[in-house]
Amino acid sequence: MSILVVGSVAFDTIATPSGRVENILGGAATYFSLAASYFTSVRMVAVVGEDFSAEDEAVLKKRGVDTRGIERTKGKTFRWGGQYLDSLNEAKTDFTELNVFENFTPRIPREYSDTEFLFLANIHPTLQAAVRQAMDGVRLTGGDTMNFWIRGTPKELAETLKLVNVLLINDAETKMLAGEQNLPRAARKVLAMGPQALVVKHGEYGATIFFRQGAFGIGSHPFRAPALPIEEVKDPTGAGDSFAGGFMGYIASQGDINREVLKRALFYGGVMGSFAVERFGTERLQDLTREEIDARFQVFRELTHLE
């Protein structure tokens, strides 16, 4: 089953204790697409500039990503620079150059109208809502947001959350969105805003999924998936977007959408995030095998069993 992601393509400059790289392919939609491509067919809507080369597009096409929705326009592609020299858990932004992304208005190709799953990556909530309304035939919509939109566009974000089935954000964003420091209470408040499920990412400590009462089955108990201890983290950039790609990609590969599928998807999200951080940029996500993915999934599962 196909999944459409709408978000950013970028060129990143990154410094970590493992080294420094300049102008490597990144962006939320890129990480998501590569991660999801190991589970299902992926379609992509984004905008790039004249500096986005055939070689860059080939990275996506090699994984079977449908790039017909990538708009090419005059100017430079979105660029971001950051460093993790003080802490691998939080990036210190050196620069942000929106370039062509500043005036990005998603245009959905007619050929994408039969898409069954949709992921709204981190863009303006009004744009997210417009895409969702244009894709009214999708079975499940996932979404992301960040503190910038939570603070700056609360009314617009509130309207968008009514259109999202599963929201994927981190601990701090959950508490900020809810105005509540206790995570379970914050999750309950966020679910009351519209989503049927909330995935809270805890970085190196895994992720928790909270369900609205009655959504995707009976009950409302949350479920926690651990993170796999990684011996060497070279680059945390894109880990969350890779998590989302694995999570949504796995769901799209299944016939049913229920709690057990969503719970299992947490593990596949963790798997893809754990691979992403092993090398700089999207390099590791470009050359995985499904056998490697399933082997690491099994390791994740064993972490949750006592026997």
The domain spans of the chain are: 3-303
- For the chain, how big is the Rg over CA atoms in Å? 18
pLDDT of 155-205, one tens digit each? 999 999 999 999 999 999 999 999 999 999 999 999 999 999 999 999 888
Cα angle value 166/275/3 (rounded, 5°): 35
pLDDT of 225-262, one tens digit each? 988 888 889 999 999 999 999 999 999 999 899 999 99
C-alpha to C-alpha distance for 221 and 100, rounded to whole angstroms? 43
3 state SS for the chain: CCEEEECCCEEEEEEECCEEEEEEEECHHHHHHHHHCCCCCEEEEEEECCCCCHHHHHHHHHCCCEEEEEEECCCCCEEEEEECCCCCCCCEEEEEECHHHHHCCCCCCHHHCCCCEEEECCCCHHHHHHHHHHCCCCCEEEECCCHHHHHHCHHHHHHHHCCCCEEEEEHHHHHHHHCCCCHHHHHHHHHHCCCCEEEEECHHHCEEEEECCCCCCCCCCCEEECCCCCCCCCCCCCHHHHHHHHHHHHHHCCCCCCHHHHHHHHHHHHHHHHHHCCCCCCHHHHCCCHHHHHHHHHHHHHHCCCC
C-alpha to C-alpha distance for 209 and 199, rounded to whole angstroms? 4
Domain 3-303 has CATH 3.40.50.2300: no
Q: What is the pLDDT confidence band of residue 219, given thresholds at 50, 70 and 90?
A: low
Token output for 178: 């809810």
Question: Looking at residue 218, what is its pLDDT?
Answer: 63
Mean predicted confidence (pLDDT) in 275-284: 96
C-beta atoms surrounding 286 within 10 Å: 15
Token output for 57: 């597009």
pLDDT of 111-151, one tens digit each? 999 999 999 999 999 999 999 999 989 999 999 999 999 99
